[in-house]
Amino acid sequence: MQNRAKSVTIFDVADLAGVSKSTVSLVLTQSDKVGKKSKQKVLKAIDELGYIYNRDAAAMRSRRSNLVAIVINDLTNPYMAQLATNLERILNENNLQAMIVSSNNNLELQTNAVKNLKEYNAAAFIICPVANTCAKWLDTLSAQQKVMTLMREVPFSAAPCVLPDYKKASHVASMHLLAQGVTHIAFIGSELSLSDSQALQSGFNTACSQHGVTPLVAISCSQNQALSAKNAFIEAYAKHPQLSALVCENDIIAQGVFTAIQTLNIPTNNNIKIASCYHLPYYSVMPYSLSTVVINTHDIAKRCHLVLKELLQNTAPPVKTLVNVNSLIRDSSQ
């Protein structure tokens, strides 16, 4: 038997609802330009007739879909996973469909993912760039698609970017430690040349300058892993046993430092104060509560949607949007 839903047209829906074809089209595209009563009539007619809206065909006709492609650099990172979840929810609430893929911190995978996603006629791309993402590649993509970056700035790119105020994050964490009179302080993190790490180091250095303190050379971890941070700290502490305070790039690095301190059996009279610039939700339990800076994923996702909305309306959003952060002082920095 022929599927009745396939034989029903938009004209049938309009006739039954007693409205124009354009009104039905507005309801189907979830426009806010339709009155409540007319919308109810159209939806009732759709239910009665079993009409099925072919969204893909409509997207091809309008050259735009409601699909937003989100390329996350690392879904194994608990913060990025939570951010992706909040993004998906906020986009869905605003009648946009999220398609989330991971580039696994790999430049080639990121390039291929974007290339493949372009075939889906996405309305826009939200990209969390991997290291060494080329500004020219991003700007070329921006000339063809609606594109914005998230969480990491690509230097010299004109694509709009939404990211936490990393400089403030490290500044408030560092100022808290320095206010206690520490003088032998260092920053520890991975991939120190990346834009987000550079911003964190800038906030740290500014705080040290305000207190008249010359910090120790930044401690570099080979990877953003607790084991890497542990080894890097042990090596640094052997050279600088006077080290009394550490500003960690994130909670993962902080956990590695905690483990190193336990391994070295550093005496309690040489207590090392620790603060993290970047809280990772649901990360493994620390030996004692960690002072950290909270970067709210919901706030990031909301701001991201506002910039995306401007892009879709062909309005030029700010090139850079900074989202505020908040410090959370606990035992580790006391």
Sign, CA torsion 303/309/312/315: negative
Sign, CA torsion 108/114/117/119: negative
Q: Which two tokens stand for residue 161?
A: 């970017």
pLDDT at 281: 74
Q: Which two tokens stand for residue 75?
A: 């879904």
Q: List per-residue pLDDT tens for the chain, 334 residues long.
A: 344 444 788 888 899 999 988 888 888 877 777 888 888 999 898 888 877 766 555 554 445 578 999 999 999 888 999 999 999 999 999 989 999 999 999 999 999 999 988 888 889 999 999 999 999 999 999 998 999 999 999 999 999 999 999 999 999 999 999 999 999 999 999 999 999 999 999 999 999 999 999 999 999 999 999 999 999 999 999 999 999 999 999 999 999 999 999 899 887 667 899 999 988 876 555 656 899 999 999 999 999 999 999 999 988 899 999 999 999 999 888 8
CA distances from 164 to 5, 161, 167, 325 (A): 48, 10, 9, 7
Q: Is 271 left (phi over 0), alpha (psi -120 to 50) or beta?
A: beta
Evaluate whether 203 touches 170 at the Cβ level (below 8 Å): yes
CA 113 from chain center: how many Å? 17
CA distance 213 to 209: 6
Domains annotated on the chain, with CATH: 10-53 (1.10.260.40), 67-163+297-324 (3.40.50.2300), 166-296 (3.40.50.2300)
Evaluate whether 15 touches 9 at the Cβ level (below 8 Å): no
CA distance 155 to 194: 9
**End-to-end alpha carbon distance in the chain:** 75
Residue recorded with tokens 């080979």: 222
pLDDT at 285: 56
Return the SS3 of 309. helix
pLDDT at 2: 40
Q: Which of 142, 130, 194 is nearest to 307 (CA)?
A: 142
pLDDT at 3: 43
Evaluate whether 71 touches 126 at the Cβ level (below 8 Å): yes
Residue 127's beta-bridge partner residues? 71, 149
pLDDT at 110: 96
